[in-house]
Amino acid sequence: MDILYRILLYIHVSSAILSVGPFFVLIPIVNKLETAEPGVQQAYIGIFRTSVRLVKHAGHVLVGSGVLLIVNSHWDWTTSWIVATLAVMGGSVFFLARAFSPVLKKFDEPGADQHFLVRKLTRSVWIYLFLLMLMLWFMVAKPVLW
pLDDT attached to residue 12: 96
Q: Which residues have a Cβ under 8 Å from the Cβ of 118 and sit 6 or more positions away? A: 30, 31, 33, 34
pLDDT attached to residue 50: 92
Low-confidence stretches of the chain (pLDDT beneath 70) = 1
Q: Which tens digit of pLDDT belongs to each residue from 86-124? A: 999 998 888 888 888 888 888 888 888 888 999 999 999
CA–CA separation, 50 vs 32, rounded Å? Answer: 17
Q: What percent of the chain has pLDDT over 70?
A: 99
**Measured torsion, CA atoms of residues 40, 43, 49, 51, in degrees rounded to the nearest 10:** -100
**Measured torsion, CA atoms of residues 58, 60, 63, 69, in degrees rounded to the nearest 10:** -80
How is the chain split into domains, by residue range? 3-141
